[in-house]
Structures are given as C-alpha cells and as structure tokens.
A and B are shown apart, each in its own frame.
Chain A
Amino acid sequence: MNDNVTTLLNFLPQLWEGVQTTIILTVAGSIGAVLIAIILGLSMTSPSAWLRVPARIIVEFFRGTSLLVQLFWLFFVLPLFGFDLDPMACGIGALALNYGAYCAEVVRSSIKTVAPGQWEAAIALSLSPTRRMIRVIFPQAWALMIPSIATLLIQLLKGTAVVSFITLSDLTDKTTQLRQSTGDTMFAFSVSLIIYFALAWLLQELMNFLERRAASALGRRRPNSRTDRREARRLARADAVRRDRLASHAAANEGANHSTGADPTKNPFPGQGGGL
C-alpha cells in the first residue's frame, strides 16, 4: 500500500495532465453541446419545415449512432476526405454533436412546455418572433431545461473516457498507466473513480447554481432550497412560541372561563409546520 502511495505521488503530475485533458474535453464539449442543442432545439420548434426537418434528422442521426463510432469516424474517416483534425478537436466535436443531439431534444421539449399564455401575451404585445423567443420564451424554458441538461453533461463528462481510443491521454488513459506501474488494479481504478466523482460533483454544483439563478430570475425558488428550510424553521419556532403562550393562557383561564380555554396540545394553526 505504501508503495502505491509513493507511486501515486510520483505519478501526480502525469495524473494532473490527464485530469486537465478530461476537464478541457468536458468544458469545451459541454459548451459545444449546449450551443448545438440550442440551435437544433430552436430549429425543431420552428414553424418552417426547412428548419424543422433537417434539425430533426441531425438529432435522430447523432442520437441513434454510438459516440465511439462517431469519434472514430471523425478521427479515421474524415482524413480520407482530406480533413485532418487533431485528436482534441475530434474528441470535442464528437462529444458536442452526440450530447448536443440529446440536449436538443430537452431544449425543444422545454420550449414547448412554456405556458401557451406566455406565447399569447407576447403575440398580443406584437413582439417579433425573435424578440418573443429571446425575451419571453427562452428564459422560461431555460429554467426548465437545466436539470435535464445537467444530467446529460455529467454523462458527457463520463463519456470523455472514450477519447483514449484516439491517442488522447485523459484521466482514464492515465489510470491505465498508473495501474501498470503499481500493478494494483483496485488501487488505480479506485483513484480514478474518486476523481471522476469529484469532477461530476463540481459540475453538478455549477448546474445547481445555474438552476437557482434561473429559478430566481422567474421569481421562484428551488423546492427545499436553503431559504425554504430557513423559513420552515422560523415558522416552527414561531409556532412553538404561540403554543407556549396559548398553554399559559389556558392555564391562567383554567376554571375561570371554560368556553374560551384553548386546548394547549392542539396545534391552533394546522398546516403551519407544527410537527417540525
């Protein structure tokens, strides 16, 4: 075990390089995926068949074929047509196209989910279709799509592992090297698991932040947010104080006025968190 730790410490700079490759692929791939998703998703909601149909075909194609095959195609087949892309560009491109297609469907369905009344109010104000989308519909759809996009982007992070097949040395590739130099399979892959998990956790935190911001822009809060929990605790405290006061009142009135004496054991304000 000590040997493993020593090897790991010596290996850290290399591992860090791998982590950097994974982060670059994830960040660039995510940005690309979201941009592609917005373009394709908006096209799929267009009233014009000239936009809708091609967008739908592209989405179905990239959703329906494997990420690995798309990656190989970009890396091995495109050069046959004279387009030589470096491995990093191939990796980012394949991730962006593949996950972009999935996210496009999320974008499309979120836009369709925005209340019809919002579209109607925008029409009633004679806003142009572009203005209507940018100012009214998309900001509301954005809040709806973030949770699903967050899940897909975490999958993208994990999907970056396939790039080691096209000569890129990412976290998974470095893990394999670590395993060879330590000879301890469990140790190497456990280290890798923890790092992937940490990256996914960071990504999720970022998406949670975006979700909170989008929700508060709509004047809403995420359910069970910190503010909600604080509010519930405040209500529970106020409730306890009220119950105490009622109990002492009841005790003071004991015998004097039976008809107004409140039952101290009963929560006088049901539904206000008396049980918290």
Chain B
Amino acid sequence: MPPTENTPTTASASSSPAIEFTDVEKSFGPTTVLKNLNFTVAPGERVTLIGPSGSGKTTILRLVMTLEELTDGYIFVDGQPLTFENRGGKRVELPKKRTREMTTRIGMVFQQFNLFPNMTVLENIIEAPVHVLGKSKAEASKEAKELLERVGLADKADAHPTRLSGGQQQRVAIARALAMSPEILLLDEVTSALDPELVGDVLGVLRDIAETTDITMLLVTHEMQFARDVSHRVMMFDGGQVLEEGPPDQIFNNPQHERTRSFLSSVL
C-alpha cells in the first residue's frame, strides 16, 4: 500500500494486513468474475471499490463475508486464512467452524438491510453478541442501547423492523453489525435502496463511525462525495481487475485511465 498523508495511524501497529487477497479467482458457472486478484487492506484503512456494474466489486465483499465460495486462491484476514489454506502446496478448505470463528471479526451491512423481521430491533442487535460471542443478555442489551443511541434510534428498541423507514432500518443494520465489535466492516451499497432524503442520515452515521473508530472498512458505493471524504484509498475495478488505485484526490481529480475517466464522468 503506498503511504499517503491520510494513511491510517494504526497501519504500523500490526504486521499483517487486515485483508489480503492472493491470486483470487471467482467464477459463476462459465463466467469468470475475478481473475488473479491480489490486494491488501491495512488495519484501520478505508478502501472504496468503484467501477461499472458487473466489475466484481460486490463479489469481493461477499467473498470476504464467506457468502460466496472462492473458486481459487486464498483470502487472509489478520494474516490468518479465511476459507482455504495452503497445506504443503495443497489447497485445503478450512472447517466451517474455523471459518465462522474468523467471520466474527467481520461485519457486513447490506443494500437491502436484511433485518430479521421476526425479531424486534433490540433482538436483532443482541442475537449474535449473545449467541455467538456468549455475552450475557443484560450486557448485550446495554451495549445495543448505546449503539441505538449512537445511530439516533434510541426510542426504537422495541419496534418491529417492518415498522421503520428504510433509513431507520439501515441504521439498525449498522448498529447490529457494530454490536459484534468487528475489526472489519463491509458496506455493500448501503444507501442504494434508500429514498434520497434518507441517505444523509445513514451516511452521517457512517461518517461518525469512520471518525471515531479505527475499524477497517471496505465499501462499495455510488456516493462519490462520501467515498472521497472517508476513504484512504479508492480502487477502480473493471473486468475483475484493479484498473487503478490511489488516494481519492488522485482518482477523482486526476485519473490515469480513460476507462476511469469515463466511469467517473458517468456517475459524478
């Protein structure tokens, strides 16, 4: 990773990158979406993935969250293998339980919120802390209420998700992901399903998180101003490859590739 003036301060604290892709390949049937992909994300770094639809941005997030199976290659989180490891030159799949332990460090917020409709807001948030991390219900509830306070929904703890607006649901989803105290937060087009007037609240919450925590963030977004404000690095994807990458100022103001220029002019 090239050092820039807004390189995360924690980057030097740990020797291994938060996320590392090594020769990653992903195919859906005959279609190859990612090929020979290599990149790393430093701890505390905020990386935005941009690129035309079908360029594989969302697939990268889904691979890190283990929602898709790797076709080939390896992904490391904190230097440890996530789904496959190289054992004496052989590519071996890790036990599901081991992978699940790894994914407790990773949180994801989805485009469609995906709150559990059969639980209240509070139950949504405390489910995993209680049943995966083994926290007591009282402790998890207390933390959940603090998180709800933080996302501006302290009064909605006992509401059903279906009674909330899209923006409120997404803020609950963010609180739910944060309740697991993740080291890595994946944000997959979190404002794309929202009415324009609700986007600001959600982005405000994310800005707050970006400013007050050192969570590593990997985000796919069409909100270019937001990407510019919070990212340390922007990666432009096309055809499953990193076309160019750099600090947001460089990518947005002085893109090197014609493809990046035409993409940015179509979205800005």
| Chain A residues within CB distance 8 Å of chain B | 115, 117-118, 120-128, 131, 135-136, 139-140, 217-220
Contact = CB atoms under 8 A, between A and B. Distances in A.
Given A121-B110, A219-B160, A127 B116 contact: no
15 contacts: A117-B112, A120-B65, A120-B110, A124-B107, A125-B127, A125-B128, A125-B132, A126-B101, A128-B100, A135-B127, A139-B118, A218-B117, A219-B117, A219-B161, A219-B162
B132 A118 contact: no
A126 B180 CA distance: 10
B177 interface: yes
Given A117-B114, A123-B66, 19 more contacts: A117-B112, A118-B116, A120-B114, A121-B110, A124-B107, A124-B108, A124-B110, A125-B127, A126-B103, A126-B104, A126-B132, A127-B128, A128-B132, A135-B116, A135-B127, A140-B118, A218-B118, A219-B160, A219-B162
Contacts of A121: 110, 114-116
Contacts of B132: 125-128, 131
Interface of B: 65-67, 100-101, 103-104, 106-108, 110, 112, 114-119, 127-128, 131-132, 160-163, 176-177, 180
Nearest to B111: A117
B176 A125 contact: yes
Nearest to B106: A124
A218 B162 contact: yes
Contacts of A131: 131-132
Contact of B177 (A123, A124, A140): A124
B162 A220 contact: yes
Contact of B103 (A118, A123, A136, A139): A123
- Interface SS majority for chain A: helix
The 5 residue pairs across chains A and B that have the minimum distance between CB atoms: A219-B160, A219-B162, A121-B114, A125-B128, A117-B114
A59 B230 CA distance: 55
Contact of A126 (B114, B116, B128): B128
A182 to B, nearest CB: 53
Given A124-B108, A125-B132, A219-B162, A118 B114 contact: yes
Contacts of A220: 117, 162
A127 B127 CA distance: 9
Given A128-B100, A131-B131, A219-B162, A123 B65 contact: yes
B116 A136 contact: yes
A128 B100 CA distance: 8
Contacts of A118: 114, 116
Contacts of B67: 120, 123-124
